[in-house]
Amino acid sequence: MISQLMVLSPRGDVIILKDFKGNVCKTSPEILFRRITLKDAPPVFCVDGTQYLYIKAGSLYWGATTRENVSPSLVLEMLNRLFWITNDYVGHVSEESVRKNFVLIYELLDEIMDYGFPQNSSTERLKEFIAMEPAVSRPKAPLASIGSGPKEVVKSVLSTSRTGAKEEIFVDIVEKLTAIFDVSGRLRTSFIVGSVQVKSYLHGNPMIRLGLSENLLLLSDDASNDDGMPLNYGSLDDGLGPVVLDTYSLHESADQQVFAQDRILELVPPEGHFSLLTYRSSKSFRPPFRIYPAVEDDMNSDEKMTLYIRLLAEYEPRKTASGVEIVLPLPPTVSRAHVDTDTQDNEGPLLSKLTGKSFQQSAEWYPRDSKLVWVLRNLPGGREHTLRVRLTIEPGQAHMVRHEMGPIMAHFVLPGKPTMSGLDVKYLKIMKDTSRGQAPSRWFRAVAVANTYLVRTD
């Protein structure tokens, strides 16, 4: 099935290379990295009869090669599982941690793969065969960068089971938002793809029960009234109506029947990271950001224009977006761009005192990429900011700028409840006797990130 597995650094250095069959050239890592960096290769491509498949995770490239006709989705899922298994064992995946634990990772590969065929991708089962202790390393920089999910838990499943470390369980609701707006700001397309992610560090794997929202409606159930007409789901803007999941998928350890009847996730969780529930919801939600672009001609020059980008943070003031990035592609006819952000607000010192983080913003034009990037950090809800851009256009090309710029793309990380879909974890019960020891710690988080958040400009 798979001929080679490899892990490459951001510079293209080979950190891990496992050759199962010997029927692919040894220069495959170089070919893969060259295609990624120079030709912006898709996740799956073919060169000289060899299929290359890769993902980027933890700032590293996880790749595989094969000369057979394999299912791309299967191989990409296997690479993703390899990343999460590595993360479970070393605590945090980075180039440094992979280099420190390369012997452990090779040992994991020997158990996960059998002559190129996946055979075991369960973190808990692998613990029975792995004897090495990991070298757990801490990240040097914050992990919640723009476009990513919540911060990772830096902890190894081996240290929990072998040293009797503190018992903990982490539950994250991560929702990726898709929203497409037309030039007037009206929302044309929107849906949510979410997941309930769990990281379990519980001794003995006790059963757990997670109670979800009582008004949760699964469209696989009967979603019509007695007259056979579709139910009115309401809107999250008015806080009415149920939480609607169009489709969903449960982890194999969860009891499907209990979830369908009682909206309770009952399971014996495996140790490490896993997705307990994945879902898609097309019910309308209130977009957290509104973006309004406007272009003004210069009365004194045909080669000058002024662009305004107005950003409204329409989520609750108690929420703070840890990172917002607005990207606007500009046509090649723009020769210069001078950017001005609005003045820092007076609430910056107060926000810094309350949260330890102050609001910051910056903007820059990248001539080589012909794009404008506006970054806002620690942005509280209920705020409005405007970016002013002075454009210099090549002679005779001003009339084309309005039609060739855009669309505007937004990337953000917005932690905090309530979630955009309305889904919530009401309680978490751990079915374990704690009379003789300390009760396990429970941690809950919710975060919304941009998947495709786009504003058309023409």
pLDDT along the chain (458 residues), means of 10: 92 92 91 87 91 91 93 92 87 86 88 88 77 68 48 55 68 93 90 92 86 85 46 48 88 90 90 88 92 86 87 92 91 88 59 63 89 92 92 80 87 91 91 73 91 89
98 three-state secondary structure: helix
205 Ramachandran zone, left/alpha/beta (phi>0; psi -120 to 50): left
What pLDDT is recorded for position 384?
Answer: 93
What pLDDT is recorded for position 298?
Answer: 80
Written as one letter, the residue type at 280 is: R
Spatial separation of the C-alpha atoms in residues 268 and 204, rounded to whole Å: 10
What pLDDT is recorded for position 304?
Answer: 87
What pLDDT is recorded for position 150?
Answer: 55
Spatial separation of the C-alpha atoms in residues 219 and 376, rounded to whole Å: 38
Listed residue (172, 135, 134) closest to 152, CA to CA: 172
What pLDDT is recorded for position 151?
Answer: 56
What pLDDT is recorded for position 92?
Answer: 81
Written as one letter, the residue type at 272 is: G
What pLDDT is recorded for position 238?
Answer: 45
DSSP-derived secondary structure for 286-323: --SEEEEEEEEE-TT-TTEEEEEEEEEE-S-TT-EESE
Spatial separation of the C-alpha atoms in residues 67 and 65, rounded to whole Å: 7
Give CB contacts under 8 A, 24+ apart, made by 16-19.
16/98, 16/102, 16/105, 16/106, 16/109, 18/106, 18/109, 18/113
Burial of 356 (0-12, 13-18, 19+ CB in 10 A): exposed
What pLDDT is recorded for position 146?
Answer: 53
Q: Backbone phi, then psi, for 359, in 5-degree steps?
A: -70, 135
10 three-state secondary structure: coil
Q: Are 33 and 128 in contact (CB under 8 A)?
A: no
What pLDDT is recorded for position 200?
Answer: 87
What pLDDT is recorded for position 440?
Answer: 85
Q: What's the CA angle centered on 308, arms 306 and 314, to 5 degrees?
A: 180
What pLDDT is recorded for position 176?
Answer: 93
Q: Cα separations (Å) of 377 from 151, 276, 323, 374?
A: 16, 31, 5, 10
- 13 Cβ contact list (under 8 Å, min separation 6): none
